[in-house]
Structure formats: C-alpha cells, structure tokens
Amino acid sequence: MSATLTPATTSSGQQVFILKEGASETKGRDAQKNNIWAAKLVAELVRSSLGPRGMDKMLVDSLGDVTITNDGATILKEIDIQHPAAKMIVEISKATDNEVGDGTTSAVILAGALLERAEELISKDVHPIIIVDGYNRAAAKALEFLDEIAVKVKPGDKEMLIRIAETSMQTKLVSDVSKELASIVVGAMLQVAEQQEDGSYKVDIDNVKVEKKPGGSLTDTMMIKGIILDKEVVHSGMPKRVEEAKIALINSPLEIEKTEFTAEIRITDPSQMKKYLEEESSMLKGMVDKIISVGANVLVCQKGIDDIAQSLLAKAGILTVRRAKESDMTKLAKATGARLVTNIDDLSKSDLGFAKLVEERKIEQDKWVFIEGCKNPKAVTILIRGGQQRIVDEAERSLHDAIMVTKDVLEKPSIVAGGGAPEAEIASRLRTYSNQVSGREQLAVLKFADALEVIPMTLAENAGMDHIDVLVEIRAKHGQGKKWFGINAITGKVSDMMDFVVEPAAVKEEVISAAAEASCMILRVNDVLASARSSAPSPPPGGGGMGGMGGGEY
Ligand code: ADP
Ligand code: MG
C-alpha cells in the first residue's frame, strides 16, 4: 500500500494530517472510475442534441433567464458543472469552439465514448497507460487517414462555402432559413477575406460585426456593406440622412478638457467672465471649423462632444455620432477607408472615409445609425432579425458556427462529407491498421475505432433509426470502399453524403484530436486530491438541476 495524504496512522498509532482538515483523496481504480463516470455523464447530456434531428435544450439560469440552444459549447457553458473531470470535458468543447467553431457536441460525445471503452479495457486489467499509448497512436493514425480521404477544393469557391455554412446551421433552430443565412455569411466573409500569395485566404472574423435586434423575421436578416452603430445622431438639428458621405473619425473629445487639479479662476468684473466663455467657445469653434474645412459631412467621435460644438456642427449640417465604441471605430476605419485621427489639428481631406449613405433609422424602439454602401469595405455587418430575443440569440450562436466553418474552409480548403461518414471510414481503416499493432495496445486501437462509430450511431439514434441495423449497414458499405456513406438524418437512410452534407476537414481534425487529448488526460489520473472548500457556494435556487453532477463527491 502506498503512502496516503489524507489522515494516515503511523506505526505508533498517531494520526498524521498532511492536507487541511476536510480535504479528500480518491485513489486508483476508484478515482479513475469516478472521473470516467463524470465525463460520460457530460457526454450523455449533449448526446441528444447532435445532428439535424437533435433536440434543443432549454436552460434556466439562477436568475430564471431562459436560453434555448442546441449548441454543445453553450449548453455546457450555461450549466454549472463542478466535477473536475467533467470540467475537463467542458474545456474541450470550449477549445473546439475557439479553434474551429463547430463540432463541439461531437468532440464531447467522442471523448465520452473513448472513456467508456477505456473503462471496459481497465476492467479487463489493461493498464491505463497502455490504453493512453494505444489511443495516442490511434489518434495520430486517424488524422493521417482523415488527411488521405479529405477532398481538396478550390480556395474561395462560393458555392462550396455556402454548402459548408449551410451544414453547420442545418442542425440548429434556424435550419429552415439556413440557405439564406449561409449566403449572407459567405458574402460577408468573402468581402473581408484577404487573399494570400499562394491563393488561400486569411480572415479576421472580427471584421464581420454581428448585430441583432428582435422584431421582423429571420429572413429579414441582412448584410450591410458597412457598419451599424447602436447610437443616435447627437443633435436634433442635424441631418438624419447624408448621401455620398465623407466621414471623419476622431477618437479624442470635442470638449475643452478640464484640468486634473482644482484650479481657481478669479473673475473680478463681468467683462472678464464674458471673455473667458468666449475663449472657450472660440477653441471649440476652431475644432469644428477644421472639420468643416476638410469637407466632412459626417463625424463619428469616440469621446464626448460639448453642447456648443454640437450646435456648431448642426449648423454646418454635419451628421454627428458621439461616444462610439473603440471596436466600432476600428471597424469603421476598415469599412470606410477613413483614418482614425486623435489630434483634430492633424485632420486632412485624405483622412476622410467614404460611404454611399449614412442614415439614422428606427429599429423597433431604438435609433441606430447605418453607415452603408462602402466601397470594397474590409469590415461589414450582419444584422440578425427574428421573432423574439431567444431566437435572435440562438441565431447569433448559429451564425458564429457558420462564420467559423467558412473561415476554416477559406483558410484550409479541404472538406469531408458529414453524417458520420468520415468517422465510419476512419474506424474501418483503423481496424485494418490495428493488425500492425502488437500487444495490448492493439485492443486500445480497436476501441478507438469503436468509439468513432458512436458519431454515426448517435446521429442515427437521434433520427429515430435503429442503430444496430445502421451499424451493420454502414460497416458493410465502408468495407466495400464506399467512403462517404453515412447517415442521412433527413431521409432516415444510409447513403452517400458527399452530395448532400459537407463539412470542413479542419473541424473533424479538431474533434478527433481534442477528444483524444482530453480522454488521455483523464485516463492518466489515478489520484484526486480535493482541498476542503473554504465556503461552499450555495446551489442556485431551484434552478440548474445539474448541480448533482459534482457536489464534492470525488
Ligand atoms: P456539433 O456541435 O458537433 O457540430 P451538431 O448538432 O451541429 O453538433 O451536429 C453535427 C453533426 O451532424 C455532424 O456530424 C454532421 O455531419 C451531421 N449532420 C449535419 N447535417 C446532417 C444531415 N442532414 N444528415 C446527417 N447528418 C448531418
Ligand atoms: Mg455543428
């Protein structure tokens, strides 16, 4: 028996504490079992939401706010998971979301499946380290196979990009309008993508600004070749619409700065008072005159604007917005071609940006300023509309997936079919490969193959198909070299998915490596030391419901 860190009894019968009182330790098989169990539970939780026939989840937070979603990463982010191993699984969904944007549910399900199968081997006395070695080997090989089967496409192929974006939204609440939304997303992404010398593209997704406003319907969602500011025109005397706009972007205040320290100004007669005020207005007038002199008819200022300056700008007919967000200023510069100016004295004609139209519009209750019709803008906006807040929220999340998969394929133009076809194909190739692996590691490679098949199985189950029949059929097809046969969840048949559902190879790559990494990390743990909670956070009142997942019992 090895040493233990929680109360141990010495030979003389004395108890020795190394950790704080209340700390707990779980070791060996028990620790592994607990961890695997927790990770499997997380996978179980998102399982039913995989694929186009997956169900949505309604999440209620401690304040009673409701979120409806089918996005794996969002589901796991919203619920309060406490178990450390379960948390690691949640981490992989986050990592996948950041890396490739899609495939979050798949990564969690695959990790769960890998651990479940590892447990079977552990119970047959295969050492976890052997399993880890086998899994690592299988994962590396799986990525090789993926690369072999993936189809290279023409960089920037619009039709293909639309199909990819559509697939990512077909599994969501917005699936009915996925085609329309996909073309909007791809249009926006191509507009901001920068082609590299080798023909591939680079995209900074920050240049696609996504705004949302409940009202209207999802089909009213549109792309604006420019930027929308959630602000109104600052003065009622200003024009609300300017065509052929010449836009000045200023990121310093149009105010007379007050001194940092308290200054005392002694005024002894009324004429001095007048002079003092006149001095202030003449400085403000100087600033406004400068803006007029370069020919600007629209001004967006990141800081405040003094009342006097406002009325002077209004008199000059300059449509002005104040206190714009810094991030919006950068995007505006990219969209209109303007240069951000800090010192108004430096402002010149060449710093001005251009837009066909700048207009204040009323969207539901709010007034927003639209800056649109920019020439070859390098930043654009997608405005999401939809029946209600929860719908536009979920649409925004789905659009994020679509934006990310479009980016994936623009940057790495390589695709695979969906519906579990690549997973089934890789599983079949791994089984053949396993003959070259000797010893118990071979068992782990075979289990890795089995785990991959959980993706098509789950898609089938969620589509109401019989998963045993499907497994047999899909294995037979892949045995015959039909590598793109997968689950058509819409027709409920096993068929060639290439003409139907396509996905970025990059997403599958990330799903496999993230799941393998997380499961190996969990398998390597054989000792869980939990320090005592100093003040246990109270569970959310009546909500959550998932809190039972952890609760300290590890
Ligand atoms: P994830 O978070 O993993 O992306 P999704 O719920 O979006 O989860 O489901 C993705 C899975 O659904 C992928 O394996 C994809 O190939 C599959 N899929 C998408 N559309 C279809 C379809 N029409 N038929 C079958 N499978 C589909
Ligand atoms: Mg998806």
Mean pLDDT of 398-419: 94
How does DSSP classify residue 346?
G
Query: Known catalytic residue: 401?
Result: yes
Q: Whose CA is nearest to atom 4 of ligand 1?
A: 103
pLDDT tens-digit series, residues 431-485: 999 999 999 999 999 999 999 999 999 999 999 999 899 999 999 999 999 999 9
Q: Which ligand is nearest to the CA of 51?
A: 1
**DSSP E strand stretches across 373-484:** 380-386, 414-417
> Rounded to an integer, what distance in angstroms lies between the CA atom of residue 514 and that of residue 422?
16
pLDDT value at residue 533:
62
Q: How far is the CA of 118 from the centre of ligand 1 (A)?
A: 25
Instruction: Give yes or no: 198 in active site.
Output: no
Model confidence over 278-301: pLDDT tens digits?
888 899 999 999 999 999 999 999
Which ligand ends up closest to the CA of 104?
1
DSSP 437: -
Distance 446 CA to ligand 1 centre (A): 24
Predicted confidence (pLDDT) at residue 135 exceeds the cutoff of 80: yes
pLDDT more than 90, % of the chain: 64
Which of the 8 DSSP states describes residue 305? B
> Which ligand is closest in space to the CA of residue 488?
1
Q: Collapsing DSSP states into helix, strand and coil, what is residue 67?
A: strand
105 catalytic residue (yes or no): yes
How high is the pLDDT of residue 7? 61
Q: What does pTM read for this prediction?
A: 0.82
| Spatial separation of the C-alpha atoms in residues 242 and 240, rounded to whole Å | 7
Cα of 161 vs centre of ligand 2, distance in Å, is 15
Number of H helices, E strands in the chain: 16, 23
| Protein residue with least CA distance to atom 7, ligand 1 | 171
336 tagged catalytic: no
Query: What is the average pLDDT value for the chain, to the nearest integer?
Result: 88
Q: Measured from the CB, is residue 150 less than 6 Å from ligand 1?
A: no
pLDDT at res. 51:
87
Closest to 166 (Cα-Cα) out of 364, 363, 415, 377: 415
The answer for 241, left when phi > 0, alpha when psi is -120 to 50, beta otherwise, is: beta
